[in-house]
Amino acid sequence: MRSCYLLDPGSPSLPRLLDRAAAAGLDTVVTGLDAVTPALADRARRLGLRVYGSFACFRGPDGPPAVDQDGRPWQPMEWYTGVRPNDPAWNARLADRLAAALATAPVDGLLLDFLRWPLHWELELRPGARPRSASYDPDTLRQFTARTGLRPPGSGAAAARWIAAHHAAAWEEFRTDAVTDAARLLAGTARAARPGLPVGAFLVPAADEAERRAAVGQDAGRLAGPLDLLLPMAYHAILHRGPDWPARVVRATGSAVPLVPVVQTTSAAAAVLGRDADWGPPVGDAGFAALLDHTLAAGSGSICLFPGEGLGPARWDALADRLAGTRPPHRPLEGPPRAR
């Protein structure tokens, strides 16, 4: 997959962005599942571009509350409010929402987003940061006891200390099971609604699988069971890393399904979103070119550029130069698999 993620598919600049994407050699555009309209899908397919929809799973202010390792209710950070992935009622509502959306959304593939335990990793996995851990609420701890037979002394901070000191491995396995179970539920829901639809998920970037599991309960090897592709979100500037960081993330991610590294095109969050967010130091044109060289080599030519709106003329040209001669000609595509 050679793709870009569009944050604002309703922008007047969408036709120009799709034209640039196709001309540069991309084969897919990604945007929010609810934002994929027939007009967007038809225009993209006429240019030879597939359309994948992303579906937010465990994010939002109205989900089951989490508790961090200090015993505090989970606090929002910037734009992000995390939701724990182990609440049966929330997960059932998610599955219903996904099935309803796929009944009409003209997409060629689905990508599960926020498929993890709460963490605003863009800030909390920076060098020197202290990442939070979730969730030490009574419901989650009852599930942990039912699954493992281990009974923490109370909840909140006392439970977190006891688990960290005595049963860290069991806790990590429990959290990983919850994420993998959610992936299996939602992937099954998608395939029942739209047989043959490819289903993938975004991964938190990590130096190795142990770090990813410990941070958010994602295990790339296990997620490869229910999923067809995985997309490590290797945003180098956000994490204060160099342009070789995405390539290192790809090499450290063990998976039996294709990996599509997601790389950062800009640090100008306000210009893209219309609001402030800390996307790290500037990404210059030379740094972006180096980023492409490292990532395309490590990812066997696969890439997802985030956001597509961050690509100016020089960056589109740099991308086209690197993809030239390695792609088939674009042809109009047929529609997506139809719902039963």
- E-assigned strand segments in the chain: 2-5, 28-32, 50-56, 109-113, 199-203, 229-232, 262-264, 303-306
What is the pLDDT at residue 331? Answer: 63
Domain span holding position 29: 2-323
Give residue-wise pLDDT tens across range 62-72.
889 899 999 99
Across 254-260, average pLDDT: 90
Which band of pLDDT confidence, cut at 50, 70 and 90, is reported for residue 338?
Answer: very low
Instruction: Give the CB-side neighbour count of residue 95, counting CA atoms within 13 A.
Output: 18
Residue 333 lies in a domain: no
What is the pLDDT at residue 255? Answer: 82
Residue 226 lies in a domain: yes
**How confident is the prediction for the chain on average, in pLDDT?**
94
Residue 330 lies in a domain: no
Residue 190 lies in a domain: yes
Residue 257 lies in a domain: yes
Residue 331 lies in a domain: no
What is the pLDDT at residue 339? Answer: 44
Residue 315 lies in a domain: yes
Instruction: Give the CB-side neighbour count of residue 238, counting CA atoms within 13 A.
Output: 24
The CATH number given to whatever domain includes residue 48 is: 3.20.20.80
Cis peptide before 135 (omega within 30 of 0): yes
Q: How many structural domains is the chain composed of?
A: 1
Instruction: Give the C-alpha distances (Å, rounded to integers) separating 139 from 142, 146, 182, 271.
Output: 5, 11, 17, 41
Instruction: Give the C-alpha distances (Å, rounded to integers) separating 304 from 57, 204, 319.
Output: 20, 14, 11
Give residue-wise pLDDT tens across range 265-314.
999 987 788 778 899 999 999 999 999 999 999 988 999 999 999 999 99
% of the chain beyond a pLDDT of 90: 88
Give residue-wise pLDDT tens across range 89-121.
999 999 999 999 999 999 999 999 999 999 999
Q: Is the pLDDT of residue 332 over 90?
A: no
Looking at residue 68, the DSSP 8-state letter turns out to be B
Residue 135 lies in a domain: yes
What is the pLDDT at residue 157? Answer: 96
Distance CA 299, CA 311 (A): 20
Give residue-wise pLDDT tens across range 190-210.
999 999 999 999 999 998 999
Distance CA 116, CA 179 (A): 6
What is the pLDDT at residue 224? Answer: 96
> If DSSP codes are grouped into helix, strand and coil, which group holds residue 247?
helix
